[in-house]
Amino acid sequence: MKQRLLIRVAVASIVKNRMRTLLTVLGVVIGVGAVILMVAIGTGASAQIRSQIDNLGTNLIVITPGSIAASGASQGAGTFNRLTVDDVDRIRRDATLITAISPVIVSPTQVVGGTGNWRTDINGVSTDYLTIRNWSLASGASFDDDDVRGKKKVALLGSTVATRLFPDGDAVGKPVRLGHVPFTVGGVLVAKGQAATGTDQDDIVLVPYTTARDRLSGFFSFLAQILVSTASPRDIPAAEDELRGIMRDAHTLGDGASDDFTIRDQTALAATATSTTTVMTGLLAAISSISLIVGGIGIMNMMLVSVTERTREIGIRMALGARGLDVLAQFLIESIVLCLLGGVAGFLLGIAGASILGHVTGWRTEIPASAVLIALGFSSAVGVFFGYYPARKAASLDPIQALRYE
């Protein structure tokens, strides 16, 4: 029998029993739809995490204080701080693989201005900070190197702080008070949103680090961190090694001494976050694929019933010259067509479900191009796997016994 004729016969048989066909493929529809939905959620979560990590900065390397041990017990990261502006100057002078560097002095301070007040983190930074963090201004202008050298009292407000202090907008040029020191708002930063750690990146005020160090009470001479960026992600590993050597030399650490600082980059953070979402996506897809197995079992049962009902028909076809391979192909094609129909319907259901879920919950959902292959591949595999046994049973019928079947 020609392949086209086999497909026509299979489709005619499926159309003949519409209600049974609908109920049979329902399991495949639900299974494929669930898999597509889970993949969309997982892919969207991964993309959102990557976006949040990218918001941290461009090719970012972070140097933070190290740890100290007391009575043989480590006190944890950040407990031993020897980071100073001198380290920043040393790195700026000796490093060859970095494109920007900024010290960061952090202190929580009450900010008063406009029609409100707000307690937030004041970050003393250099002019490179916005470049490193890939951060732009929504309005106003940033402070420049002259402002840093002159210890000018100019502040850049994060969008959260600007909204709290100036709900009517137009914060640029307005006076604010950081603690007890008056400042002028130079600009408002573009909103970045929530970080991967869950913190609000816009709840921040930036000032020149020289001003933070010398004019704001309560600030210490040590730095909370040093931010560095490279020209390319490929330069990060070599830059980290170079920075480690410069820092160890600056802190006069011997060959056997441990680092009194920590160097991290967002590549490791991105890899960890991505691997976590990948595992969760795979787990969710595996759980949802159970319904595919249930749907496949339903198709196998339907095909077995179909073989029993059409035993006499099979005998007539064999008597007219059809081979066992033709009968096997006919029933196998019926099973595959059923599953493909369910796969297409499930794919559309998954797209609709992802769209509705994203709209209702605000979650980011993305359906990758490979989802089409997932839908059709899974459904075809289910059709072949669960359709082979009934098709094989039909092909192995004895023509004489089949003709006698009532």
Query: Tens digit of pLDDT per residue, the chain (406 long)?
Result: 456 666 676 677 767 777 777 777 787 888 888 888 888 887 787 777 766 666 666 688 999 987 654 444 444 454 567 789 999 999 999 999 999 999 999 888 999 998 889 999 999 999 999 999 889 999 999 999 999 999 999 999 999 999 999 998 889 999 999 988 999 999 999 998 877 667 888 999 999 999 998 888 555 668 989 999 998 888 999 999 999 999 999 988 888 888 888 898 876 666 666 676 777 767 766 776 677 777 777 777 777 777 776 677 767 777 766 676 777 777 777 777 878 888 888 888 888 988 888 888 877 788 877 777 777 777 777 777 777 777 777 777 666 665 655 5
Strands 181-189 and 154-157: parallel
The letter for the amino acid at 249 is D
- The residue ranges of every structural domain in the chain are 3-52+274-404, 81-259
Task: Write phi, then psi, for 314 (nearest 5 degrees).
Answer: -60, -40
The whole-angstrom separation of Cα 350 and Cα 378 is 14
Long-range contact set of residues 51-54: C-beta below 8 Å, sequence gap at least 24? 52/193, 52/194, 52/195, 52/196, 53/196, 53/266, 53/269, 53/270, 53/273, 54/134, 54/266
Q: What's the CA gap between 303 and 14, in Å, rounded?
A: 11
The contacts of residue 265 (CB under 8 Å, 6+ apart) are 60, 61, 62, 236, 240
Count the alpha carbons within 13 Å of 383 in the hemisphere toward its beta carbon.
Answer: 24
pLDDT (0 to 100) of residue 144? 94
- CA dist., res. 339 & res. 379, Å (int): 5
- Give the CA count within 13 Å in the CB-facing half-sphere of 179: 13
The dihedral formed by the CA atoms of 39, 45, 48 and 52, expressed in degrees to the nearest 10? -150
| Whole-number Å distance between alpha carbons of 132 and 123 | 14
How far is the C-alpha of 70 from the C-alpha of 77, rounded, in Å?
13
Contact 192, 31 (CB under 8 A): no
C-beta separation of 22 from 302 below 8 A? no
